[in-house]
Structure 1
Amino acid sequence: MSPAMPEDELADVAEASRSLTIQDRENESKGINFAAERLAQEARQPLSFSGSRGTKDVTAEFAAAAKRLQPGQLVKDDYFTLFEAVGALEIMDPKMDSGYIPPGDSVEPLFDVCLGLPAEEVIWIMDELLRLTIVWHDGYPLSQTVYTSLHVDRLLSPDNKAPYTFSFGDTTDQYDKTEERLVHVVLRAFCVALVKSCALVLHTIQSQNFYEEEDFVTHLFGRELLPGVGAEEALRLVDEAVSFVEAVELDKDMRSALSERLQFVRLYVSLLMNDIDDWTDMTAMGEIADTHALARARPEAFSDNVQRQLATSTPPRPMVPITWKESHQRWLKLSGDITEAGDLTDYDVCQSPHGLQRAIWVFVYRNPTPNTFARAYLQSKLFAGEQVTEGITFFDLMLTDMRDLVLAGHEFADPQSFVVEMPADPRHKCSRIMESFMDKAFDEYMNLYRMVCQNRCRIRRTFTQSVGILDVLEKDAQRSDAELDGVIGGILLPTDDDSALIALNPLTSWTKYHKLLVMAWTIQLGFETDIYLPHETGMMYWYLMVFAQRRRKLLEHIDRFTSARVKNLASSGDVRPQAEAVVSLDWLAVLRKEVDLTISLSSALWQLNTALAMTKAIEAPKRDYAQEQLLYDVRMKSYLGIAHDPVPSLDEYRDAEQSIRSIDEACVNVDSAVKDAKACLAELKKTTSKQGKYFGTENEWKREMKQLETSCVAVGVQTFQLRRTAYKHGQQSLKGVLEVRIPPPGSRYHDWWPVPQVKEKKATGKA
């Protein structure tokens, strides 16, 4: 219990408050007077920092009051002053104050890091450091992980200089006893190597796209990661420690356990230095796990009190403790993720833009999700140099994408046309025009690969920004197409009724396709990140269907020109361009089937959600002051600025919604759409990895087909449940009869396709 404020200070505070009220009485509002009077009254009361007296648990009352608020309703107290706001922060609360020292605790840790330790305790400290390192990989700060080691803290201490030892002041550096040398030779080398590994990991992450604090904490808290020692020197220290362990008189199992840990950290640093490139060797972690039972705990070698000395004002963040067994599994997972990331840079994958793009999506969607370092490692493998992989530049990747989609077999998209230097040659002119456009589109095109390596929320937010950029780029594509038409006279075909000619406009078509694809991704990522309210789900499925229909129409447009090109090349006898155009036709057929699946499944889910809204089983929350148009503008903000192919208005959506006149009609339409979706899936299952460009990810392709098929079955089951309940009760409104639940992410058949779960409520009350 803190002592009460002295009477003279109470009088001063009260007098100052009364003076403020008197001086401002004529100009200030009634609220200011009220606040001043309340301050004066509170100043007379003794302050308490103890929870033993004068406290009341208001949790239940607060929860009850919160339930009375409508969704979106705000509560504002005009008289809640800055003094009260600051007073709400409890300075002596350990959760808020990182410098708080509990009673009986010492400011400095009492453990002596120079103390010799037996082998089993050294093994435990090594294992604990490995555990904390993988916890740091998961996004927790160094101050709560690696830095808590008092041995590491001594190495990083500002008064410790190269060669960074555990000794203090004038203490001799000669250690004769085995236990002392286990600390000052073996454990020191292990700690130095582990600290340098942290520096290498930080360099990899910070050189790529990531979001600090959100993905990874890069803050060093005023400490340097042994700048006077290079990674090569750390490896030399480890080698010396291994030699010592092999020669020292210890139990054979102890010697083997120490050597395994030293070899593991040496391998880890070598992999981070790119001296070796086979991350599968990290399976040696299994041998370490087998000898963990030899360790004997020495918890005094670690202390959370270290953070009191660090340059930070940030309170500790809550951590989820993991066991040694769990940390072992995470090390193995990191090894597996990085091995998979290395496989994505194989030539067979990278030579196909869509195959590479699909492989990156598959990598990011590994379960559990690869951590920040693994995703940064993939980015560094793909984008750190001037080539995606050996022999394939970024320019080649982008040009191949254009050829695969819109210009397969065409002369001016051939790579050989870009080396023609004769200014009068049409190929030279066309290649310069295309190069100019590709320079403008390059950054945004590469984002289609790079930004997939971010966390889910950032992928969606980045792609919503890309929509506007791609729409502006479409205007540049139109200008470039006009310049190409001026050189080669345009790529033209007659319309269906032969009344006019239509142009391919390849660069515009290519840009529009990617824009429509990204728009669909943003909606489906919105489903995955669960940002839509239940009553918005139907509307977003409708917009997804509209975007897919536009993409389907564009693919039909491109397919007409590609088919005509195949016929022309067949008559000319030019085999290589013809084969390229035939492969493109197969690819376009797969794309049409995929977009047909999207149209059918989104149509089914839109109409199912609309039917549920008709029954009042799904309703928008009551908003007294909200306007429907403003709510629509906020939800569709990312798409409202599109100049080419603008999104449908709210009125158009309402017209489509009102076209569904009854629950029975909606259910019939849903069943028909599900049947079409299943037919599309049956066709997609027949495609080869070469046709569908999913080589290297065949297992994931099959798994996704199975998930989509299960989603289709689930839509049919829920539709049947809705129809049966509607017939049973014979009423349009089923509010209070039907219970509808949107499964959260992680419990769906496919995270991009949430299917509402419809359940009839059981009757309550006495018969």
Structure 2
Amino acid sequence: MANDEAREAGGSPGATRDESAVSSELRGLSLNTEPSVPALSQPPPSRPISSGVVSVDITAQFMAAAATLGPGELIKDPFFTLFESVGALEIMDPKMDSGCLPAEELEDDTYDFARPLLPEEVVGIIDQLLCLEHYSGGSAPSIVLGTDSCPRPPENNWAQDVALALDARLEFRDAFLHAIELAELRIQPDALQVPWKSMLAAMEGVKKTHKLGKNLPGAFSVKLQRRLASTMPPRPIVQPSFDEACERWLRFCKDGASVIDVLRYADPQSLLKFVLTFQAQKPQPLVFIRTLMQDLIFADNIMLGQMSIRQVMDDDLALLVLPASMLLDPTNDEVEAVQDPRFAVAQHMEEFRQRAFPAYFEVFRTLCQNRSRTRRMLCRAIQEWDKLQIDAEDIDQLVEHAVGGGRSRGGMTSEGPTAADALPLSSWAFLYKLQLMEWVTQLGFELEVYQVDELPGMYWYLSYLAKRRVQHVERIRSFTVRAIQEHQQPRAGRKASTLSTAEHTAYVRSLAFLRATLIDASASWELAEALSCFYSVLQRTGEMPIPDRPFGSEELRYELRMRPFAAGGPSELPPFDIFAAEVKQADRSVAEMLTYAEKAVGAAKKGFEALTKLDEREESFSAFCHDRWVARTKGMQKSAIFAGIAVATAQKAALDEGTQNRSRLTIEVPTPDKCYHEWWVVPKITIKPAAT
């Protein structure tokens, strides 16, 4: 029995006697005079041992810490991201966590990767891989295409067909890798487009031979998916149809070939329109294509693979505010004489470039993002351009002082008040700031940021910004025309001179661009004003009532909507009292407002029609994107025509502010994707039939 107890204690009898003797000797050496505690008959239970894991019970500490928090108090941990928190909520949810296994399911995959495959099985695997790759590029497409059934002629050789199918798929992969490799060169756009066109042709072959493949569901197992570290928790595999994937790959190839045209530089405004129109396509190009466009434009801080940012920005300044100006003459950098005015001009212009580079560079980068992120980034960019405008005013004064008695063309002269009033650099910055503010407002309509009852106010604000842009462009144009006249007029001690060919071309191009900008801004001003009046009429007559909001007010909502524009300066953000008075127009009757809207719509329609007739290079400045730009402009023209029909319908209904005429119209406000242009939400108006 003693031996059994010793064994249960974990030792032999001899070892127990030895340990007892040692213990008695130690007790004799102890300085403690208190009676010793008798030895336990059983040793304490051993703690569980786990490889590399130490378990600690923190229940008490957690409850004590939680007790110190008030109701509704939130704790933010900067190291615990939103992605991780959402992933933690989804863990062990069978609908969201593919790693959640039923008790009867094996964890290891049973698919044999070493087994031989038939050629048609290889075709099926590649096609399934194409489907999965297409889905990873963004959200699932909203259009499901029907399957094209093509019966195979019996005389064809099956083995040869499968060989051609495999060849088409390998050719597609090879062309894709070749396209990525060549894109790093950023030269010779025609050569860079060849692999993209080869991909397009190969994808057509893939689409035609898809029926030859044989599906292998086990080759793409969820058990393999859950072992990947790319998602946490792992997501279920989405299985889109092959037709969806094929159509998306075809569009991917077409967009890839089209984006290469961005390297064909004509002028900065054509480059800007290219990015704008390319990103505005519906559906928007995939992330890979948008990233490729960013890389083509400004990889390694080299614009389009061959130009400096200074060269592009100087071209922009020359086109907008400084045509044929000595301020942009590159020879100024070679002047070393401190007393020479050109030395000071070069120093001040370089200071301006260093200050403007980041903001100008960021405009192109921002426009390459998705639409929601573009609007958010543009809101932040407005503040930077406002600061740049203030700094540019100081540099304008320094440049004018440095020029002194000299003469600098393009709106900077030494005679009369024009020299101090031209301010070309700050005018350039202010024009861009106004354009950014318009884009933010217009993207708000496209992204459905505004409620239906907010449309009158936001369209009025858009018309306000467009009107400011018209006035500012007219001011720039007046200084440009005055510079030409002063150059050709004789002065004291100097005869009248004629412009050189280069100077004449610079002035002509600048005036042509300013004219196109005036037409565009005027048409936007008129159409936005017309829609604001029309929506205000519908609200005043009760056809489109304003919902009750007991926990808010119009002034607070105005402050919220105008928060992105508060950084633009007080002149670009009218007070709420003025805003409300201009939107409601209480001093005008309904008939007067409808008449004004009718005239404004007619002017907008003529303006957009004039834009569609402009030349690609010399008038519209839409080189290499003219077709897309014209299509969008025609969409604006159709919106103006549709708005005219809606106004005419309201006039026919003889609306007034009396209650007896309410609810005579059926009003449908479409979503932006159903409009002719996503920036112009025109309501569909029909007159209700009279009750019998």
Comparing 94-103 with 561-570, which one deviates more in the overlay? 94-103
Name the CA distance, whole Å, in 2 between partners of 1:600 and 1:648: 19
Matching of residues 682-761 of structure 1 within 5 Å: 682-689=609-616, 690-727=618-655, 731=658, 735-761=662-688
| Aligned twin of 1:600 | 526
| Aligned twin of 1:336 | 254
Shift of 1:391: 4.3
Task: Give the match's secondary structure for 2:303.
Answer: strand
Aligned 8 A contact 1:545 1:602 in 2? yes
Residue among 242, 254, 258 paired with 1:324: 242
| Aligned twin of 1:281 | 198
* Cα gap change, 1:627 to 1:289, in 2 (>3 Å): closer
Residue among 443, 450, 453 paired with 2:368: 453
Counterpart residue identity of residue 285, structure 1: M
Task: Give the match's secondary structure for 1:108.
Answer: coil
Counterpart residue identity of residue 260, structure 1: A
Computing the radius of gyration from Cα coordinates, the structure with the larger value is: 2
Task: Give the match's secondary structure for 1:691.
Answer: coil
Residue among 674, 688, 707 paired with 2:601: 674
* Cα gap change, 1:440 to 1:642, in 2 (>3 Å): same
Gaps of 5+ in 2: 1-58, 73-84, 141-156, 184-190, 489-495
Shift of 1:419: 3.7
* Cα gap change, 1:426 to 1:493, in 2 (>3 Å): closer
Matching of residues 601-640 of structure 1 within 5 Å: 601-640=527-566
Counterpart residue identity of residue 684, structure 1: L
Task: Give the match's secondary structure for 2:112.
Answer: coil
Shift of 1:376: 0.3
> Does 1:558 pair with 2:476?
yes
* Cα gap change, 1:111 to 1:763, in 2 (>3 Å): farther
Name the CA distance, whole Å, in 1 between partners of 2:440 and 2:643: 22
Task: Give the match's secondary structure for 1:692.
Answer: coil
| Aligned twin of 2:392 | 477
Name the CA distance, whole Å, in 1 between partners of 2:321 and 2:417: 24
Residue among 497, 501, 507 paired with 1:572: 497
Number of corresponding residues:
575
Shift of 1:502: 5.6
Aligned 8 A contact 2:392 2:429 in 1? yes
| Aligned twin of 1:513 | 431
Shift of 1:595: 0.9
Shift of 1:344: 1.2
Counterpart residue identity of residue 627, structure 2: N
Name the CA distance, whole Å, in 2 between partners of 1:119 and 1:543: 63
Comparing 362-371 with 607-616, which one deviates more in the overlay? 362-371
Per-residue Cα deviation, 1:174-198 (whole angstroms, up to 9, x for no partner)? xxxxxxxxxxxxxxxxxxxxxxxxx
Comparing 309-318 with 351-360, which one deviates more in the overlay? 309-318
Task: Give the match's secondary structure for 2:338.
Answer: coil
Task: Give the match's secondary structure for 2:682.
Answer: coil
Name the CA distance, whole Å, in 2 between partners of 1:548 and 1:450: 24
* Cα gap change, 1:545 to 1:503, in 2 (>3 Å): same
Shift of 1:700: 2.0
Shift of 1:368: 2.4
Aligned 8 A contact 2:96 2:236 in 1? no
Q: CA RMSD in A?
A: 3.2
Matching of residues 184-203 of structure 1 within 5 Å: none
Name the CA distance, whole Å, in 2 between partners of 1:662 and 1:344: 50
Residue among 527, 533, 537 paired with 2:445: 527
* Cα gap change, 1:743 to 1:614, in 2 (>3 Å): same
Shift of 1:567: 2.3
* Cα gap change, 1:586 to 1:664, in 2 (>3 Å): same
Counterpart residue identity of residue 402, structure 2: V
TM normalised by structure 1 equals 0.70
Aligned 8 A contact 1:95 1:315 in 2? no
Aligned 8 A contact 2:132 2:239 in 1? no
Aligned 8 A contact 2:602 2:644 in 1? no
Per-residue Cα deviation, 1:138-165 (whole angstroms, up to 9, x for no partner)? 368xxxxxxxxxxxxxxxxxxxxxxxxx
Residue among 290, 298, 314 paired with 2:216: 298
| Aligned twin of 1:138 | 138
Matching of residues 10-409 of structure 1 within 5 Å: 93-102=93-102, 104-138=104-138, 251-274=159-182, 277=192, 278=194, 279-282=196-199, 283-311=201-229, 314-315=232-233, 321-346=239-264, 350-389=265-304, 391-409=306-324
* Cα gap change, 1:96 to 1:485, in 2 (>3 Å): same
Task: Give the match's secondary structure for 2:240.
Answer: coil
Give me the identity figure in percent. 30
Task: Give the match's secondary structure for 1:114.
Answer: coil
Aligned 8 A contact 1:611 1:662 in 2? no
Residue among 297, 320, 325 paired with 1:410: 325
* Cα gap change, 1:664 to 1:732, in 2 (>3 Å): farther
Counterpart residue identity of residue 758, structure 1: I
> Does 1:649 pair with 2:575?
yes
Comparing 729-738 with 95-104, which one deviates more in the overlay? 729-738
Shift of 1:655: 2.1
Shift of 1:386: 3.9
Name the CA distance, whole Å, in 1 between partners of 2:567 and 2:688: 44
| Aligned twin of 1:180 | none
Aligned 8 A contact 1:742 1:755 in 2? yes
